[in-house]
């Protein structure tokens, strides 16, 4: 589904991603781990089109995507969530979901003017889909509440539902379980596995090893902008080079 080949990126003189290469297999959950400053979030932003690498290639489903920009990458089916949820705080939960749907007739003035019947039908379809997703993440009762009034865990769930509303082929999840209660973390893990059953490929950045053990088919370890190791979670946790990379920033066997 995704090939990352010798990707490099620097902030000023600081090398954040340094010749990073790995594949993301189709319809699997690939975990991306590493100590703070390893380049994980920067790489996610490069894949999503928010940053352009100084060198290297990113190939998604046969198409080179490096440097295309967020909008074109999203239209290809790559959708990203963030460490800090970015909901539209003043809009109701339901409107946050409907807003995220792609290819809306209302976004095109001429079509919305001359195809009002189709526009109304699409609006009904989107709201039915949004209702289904809200039920899927347990937020149905909050659909008319302002998104800014949600708790941290509820915002995580809303962001996942909103990402699904955008019809992803590849979903980039950046710390989806951070700062949530164990019950919500368990629900998020279950929903990620269900995404894969629906045919979605997932690349997830996470520090919580218990969470990764529930969701990831394998993991890629980054350190100093490069891939240090790849394998199952148990394999990388037993690797002395991985343990050494984590020293001073928590250990790879922990839950945070």
pLDDT digits (tens, 9 = 90+) for 102-159: 665 555 544 545 455 665 676 788 889 999 999 999 999 999 999 999 999 999 999 9
Decide which of 220 and 89 is more confident: 220
Residues 182 and 83 in one domain: yes
Residues 83 and 170 in one domain: yes
Residue 55 CA: distances (Å) to CA of 4, 32, 72, 256: 11, 21, 20, 33
Q: The domain containing residue 134 runs over which residues?
A: 89-149
Q: Of 157, 150, 250, which Cα lies nearest the Cα of 208?
A: 250
CA distance 177 to 190: 12
CA distance 20 to 45: 14
Residues 142 and 95 in one domain: yes
Cβ pair 169, 200 in contact under 8 A: yes
Asked, for residue 26, whether it belongs to a domain, the answer is yes
pTM value > 0.85? yes
Asked, for residue 158, whether it belongs to a domain, the answer is no
Asked, for residue 72, whether it belongs to a domain, the answer is yes
Asked, for residue 155, whether it belongs to a domain, the answer is no
Residues 173 and 71 in one domain: yes
Cα distance from N-terminal residue to C-terminal residue, the chain: 29
Cβ pair 8, 19 in contact under 8 A: yes
Residues 139 and 172 in one domain: no
Residues 76 and 201 in one domain: yes
Q: pLDDT tens across 179-205, in order?
A: 899 999 999 999 999 999 999 999 999
For 57, the enclosing helix (H) or strand (E) is: strand 55-60
Residues 77 and 38 in one domain: yes
Q: Of 79, 62, 76, 67, which Cα lies nearest the Cα of 3?
A: 62
The region, left, alpha or beta by phi > 0 then psi within -120 to 50, assigned to residue 211 is: alpha
Report the range of poorest mean pLDDT among 39-53, 108-122, 153-167, 206-220. Answer: 108-122
Asked, for residue 60, whether it belongs to a domain, the answer is yes
Residues 175 and 232 in one domain: yes
The CA dihedral of 182, 188, 190, 196, to the nearest 10 degrees, is -150
Residues 8 and 52 in one domain: yes
Cβ pair 207, 256 in contact under 8 A: yes
Residues 8 and 78 in one domain: yes
The yes-or-no verdict on residue 225 having pLDDT over 50 is yes
Cβ pair 252, 236 in contact under 8 A: yes
């Amino acid at each position: 589904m995704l090939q990352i080949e010798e990707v490099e990126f620097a902030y000023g003189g600081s090398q954040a991603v340094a010749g990073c290469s790995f594949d993301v297999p189709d319809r699997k959950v690939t975990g991306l781990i590493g100590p703070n400053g390893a380049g994980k979030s920067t790489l996610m932003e490069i894949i999503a089109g928010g940053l352009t690498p100084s060198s290297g290639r990113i190939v998604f489903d046969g198409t080179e995507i490096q440097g295309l920009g967020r909008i074109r990458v999203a239209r290809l089916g790559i959708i990203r969530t963030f460490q800090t949820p970015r909901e539209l705080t003043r809009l109701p939960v339901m409107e946050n979901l409907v807003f995220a749907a792609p290819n809306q007739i209302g976004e095109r003035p001429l079509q919305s003017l001359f195809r009002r019947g189709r526009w109304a039908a699409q609006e009904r379809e989107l709201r039915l889909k949004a209702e289904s997703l809200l039920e899927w993440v347990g937020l149905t009762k909050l659909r008319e509440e302002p998104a800014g009034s949600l708790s941290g865990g509820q915002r995580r769930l809303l962001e996942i539902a909103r990402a699904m509303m955008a019809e992803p082929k590849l979903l980039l999840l950046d710390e989806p379980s951070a700062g949530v209660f164990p019950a919500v973390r368990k629900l998020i893990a279950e929903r990620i596995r269900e995404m894969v059953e629906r045919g979605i490929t997932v690349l997830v950045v996470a520090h919580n090893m218990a969470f990764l053990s529930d969701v990831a088919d394998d993991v890629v370890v980054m350190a100093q902008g490069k891939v240090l190791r790849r394998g199952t979670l148990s394999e990388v946790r037993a690797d002395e080079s991985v343990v050494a990379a984590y020293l001073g920033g928590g250990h790879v066997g922990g839950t945070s």
